[in-house]
Structure 1
Amino acid sequence: MAFQPTPRQLSLSKAVIFVLALLPFARMVWLTYTGQLVEPLEFITRGTGDWTLYFLCIGLGVTPLRRLMQWNWLIKLRRMLGLFAFFYATLHFTTFLWFDHFFDLAEMWKDVLKRPFITVGFIAFVLLIPLAVTSTNGMVRRLGGKRWQWLHRLIYVIAPLGILHYWWMKAGKNNFAQPILFGAIVALLLLTRLYYAWDKRRQNARIAS
């Protein structure tokens, strides 16, 4: 029998995840405020980017884990995980816009167009915005289930773009170990989700025939 938490246990799990997800941000703020960082801008830029990818991977992992373990309640955590991916992506972009360009949109746009790794990162961030905006139950009802699902399939584009952004950024330092690891994880998770979608279609076709 699959494990099914009580409503109280689920609420507690959400609260714990919420606090844990904010710890990296709190650490960045504390280390910056206390002056313990030699290169605070690099540390914050790298940290917010890394945690964006972490939460993208965790969010993508919800469906495979839910199906494997038959823990359907995990779906109730996916929204929070996705919003934390957007939260850290917003911090990552804000760091770029604020500290690199001091909110000069014209200069920022030139940088976006000039450097490919920034271009793909910017595209990934822009594509995340409609997913975050439509994450509420109200937006699901307004859009309708099918249109909402199609919109949120943008994650299949966003995640590879995030990996490409990370790869190009690390290429200048000849450090490919982490991009390869992230890429392998994202590829495995996306292939798993594609397999489940194919298997569902196959089963529906079998029932229809």
Structure 2
Amino acid sequence: MPSAVHPLSLIPLGLLLGEAALGLLSVNPIQDLILRTGKAGLVLLLLTLACTPLKRLTGWKWLLALRKPLGLYSFLYVSLHLVAFAVIDFGLDLALISQAIAEKRYVLAGMASFSLLLPLALTSTKAAQRRLGRWWRPLHRLIYPAALLAALHYLWLAKVPREPLIFLAILGGLLALRLPWWRIR
């Protein structure tokens, strides 16, 4: 199963590129790119967070090997989401981007989430883990506030909050499963 994570994680990108090549995107392809890369990033982030609780519930140790690739694929989609927003949609106009961050809380939440995920991606190697030593694990706990900010980013931009609330509920459940009183050992 761990080897299947790579092709499965690339399906959303493949579908997006295929639909773009065939002219099947909506009349606003930039919005399609932004929304679909963002949603794929959030789904993969939640799947990353689901690995440890699922391992505890099932005893399947191989699930732990999925955390790193899922997390990195999540970061890939989040990075594409940010590039689509900042470069394609805003033309890398720093004044416009700064204004959006200042005026729109969902943009601020998204930028904050990305800022927390960036050091996690940069320190995902064994060498970084050795260099950071005991600080690696506390650093990688930033995934929890990053996931919350990502889910809030989605909630605050949505016109209809049904789907973002489902994501928040899933995140809440995954975080609750990590509480010491809930753990099944």
Shorter-chain TM-score bucket reads over 0.9
Q: Which runs of 5+ in 1 are unaligned?
A: 1-12, 204-209
CA distance in 2, matches of 1:199, 1:81: 23
Q: What is the aligned-residue RMSD (CA, Å)?
A: 1.7
Q: Does 1:19 align with 2:11?
A: no
CA distance in 2, matches of 1:48, 1:158: 16
Q: Provide, for residues 67-110 of structure 1, a one-character-per-residue CA deviation record: whole Å limited to 9, x for no partner.
A: 11111222111100000110100011000012221122232122
| 1:156 aligns with one of 144, 163, 167 | 144
Which position in structure 2 is the counterpart of 1:147? 135
| 2:108 aligns with one of 115, 119, 136 | 119
Q: Which runs of 4+ in 1 moved over 4 A?
A: none
CA distance in 1, matches of 2:130, 2:140: 14
Deviation at 1:199, TM superposition (A): 5.9
Q: Provide, for residues 103-155 of structure 1, a one-character-per-residue CA deviation record: whole Å limited to 9, x for no partner.
A: 222321221112111011110011100000000111111101x3111001111
CA distance in 1, matches of 2:132, 2:92: 34
Matches within 5 A, 1:170-189: 170=158, 173=159, 175-189=160-174
Output the amino acid matched with 2:94: L
| 1:103 aligns with one of 92, 108, 119 | 92
SS in 1 for 2:92: coil
- Matched residues, percent identical? 38
CA distance in 2, matches of 1:92, 1:138: 28
Which position in structure 2 is the counterpart of 1:207? none
Output the amino acid matched with 1:47: R
Q: Does 1:90 align with 2:79?
A: yes
Q: Does 1:66 align with 2:51?
A: no
Provide TM-score, normalisation by structure 1: 0.83
CA distance in 1, matches of 2:56, 2:117: 25
Structure whose alpha-carbon radius of gyration is higher: 1
Provide TM-score, normalisation by structure 2: 0.93
Q: Does 1:76 align with 2:60?
A: no
CA distance in 2, matches of 1:70, 1:160: 27
CA distance in 2, matches of 1:185, 1:122: 22
CA distance in 1, matches of 2:33, 2:53: 31
SS in 2 for 1:194: coil
CA distance in 2, matches of 1:85, 1:199: 26
CA distance in 2, matches of 1:134, 1:180: 31
